């Protein structure tokens, strides 16, 4: 049942989404004329950098292989750029100064972030369990058989750290969850 357990990193990601989520909720529930309360909500909302940076760090740490890491970073950066282009468009002039559509969109996005971070942690934990079984099988094959009959096993166990293997190909790669 290790699939349902996640490590501290995934919990930390989920906890880091709570402050910006609270900031958005404050903006949603407080009336527009409560400028001090809404300012406090905006200040709390600006903690959104924490889940962003933690997500980036875990994403890049959980990707191995130079080409794959470059591709993952490029796709992520394109998504980030598209989000920065679309984001300001949800602040509709006709809804000023409350910007209800923008606030509800941020609320949905932070909620989806929390769920996706949890799912990602569970998925990485599942992959770690699969890799543990794969490593155990490689080690038992190496112990039980003659190394001449299985020439690739010893080489992979010794050299995979230096090879340009992706995280899925390297049996010794452990995902941060």
102-159: pLDDT as tens digits:
999 999 999 999 898 888 888 888 998 898 898 888 888 777 765 555 555 445 555 5
pLDDT at res. 145 = 64
pLDDT the model gives residue 169: 82
pLDDT (average), residues 38-65: 91
Tell me the pLDDT band of 49, cut-offs 50, 70 and 90.
very high
Model pLDDT, residue 76:
93
Residue written as token pair 């598209």: 82
Check whether 166 has a pLDDT greater than 90. Answer: no
How far is the CA of 170 from the CAs of 5, 14, 174, in angstroms?
23, 28, 9
Q: What is the pLDDT of residue 23?
A: 96
Q: Tell the residue number behind the tokens 């909720």, with chain if given.
A: 25
The encoded tokens of residue 34 equal: 């409560």
The predicted pLDDT at position 161 comes to 57
Q: Which pLDDT belongs to residue 143?
A: 77
Tell me how far apart the alpha carbons of residues 139 and 128 are, in angstroms, rounded to a whole number.
16
As given in the structure block, the two tokens for residue 4 are: 């349902």
DSSP helix/strand/coil, 31: coil
Nearest to 67 by CA among 177, 166, 176, 137: 166
pLDDT value at residue 134: 87
Which among 2, 59, 7 is positioned nearest to 177, based on CA atoms? 7
What tokens does 105 get?
């969109």
What value does the mean pLDDT take over residues 40-59?
91
Mean pLDDT of 45-56: 91
Query: What is the mean pLDDT of the segment spanning 34-60?
Result: 92
Residues 16 and 54 sit within 8 Å (Cβ to Cβ): yes
Interval 28-45 mean pLDDT: 95
Residue % of the chain over a pLDDT of 70: 84
């Amino acid at each position: 049942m290790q699939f349902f357990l996640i490590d501290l990193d995934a919990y930390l990601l989920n906890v880091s989404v709570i402050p910006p989520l609270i900031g958005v909720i404050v903006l949603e529930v407080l009336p527009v004329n409560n400028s001090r309360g809404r300012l406090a909500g905006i200040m709390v909302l600006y903690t959104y950098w924490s889940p962003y940076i933690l997500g980036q760090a875990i994403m890049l740490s959980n990707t191995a292989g130079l080409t794959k890491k470059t591709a993952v970073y490029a796709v992520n950066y394109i998504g980030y750029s598209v989000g920065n282009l679309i984001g300001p468009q949800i602040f509709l002039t006709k809804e000023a100064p409350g910007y209800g559509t923008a606030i509800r969109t941020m609320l949905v996005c932070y909620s989806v972030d929390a769920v996706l971070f949890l799912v990602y942690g569970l998925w990485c934990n599942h992959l770690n369990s699969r890799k543990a079984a794969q490593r155990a099988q490689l080690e038992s094959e190496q112990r039980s058989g003659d190394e001449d009959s299985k020439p690739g096993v010893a080489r992979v166990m010794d050299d995979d750290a230096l090879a340009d293997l992706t995280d899925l190909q390297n049996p010794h790669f452990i995902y941060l969850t």
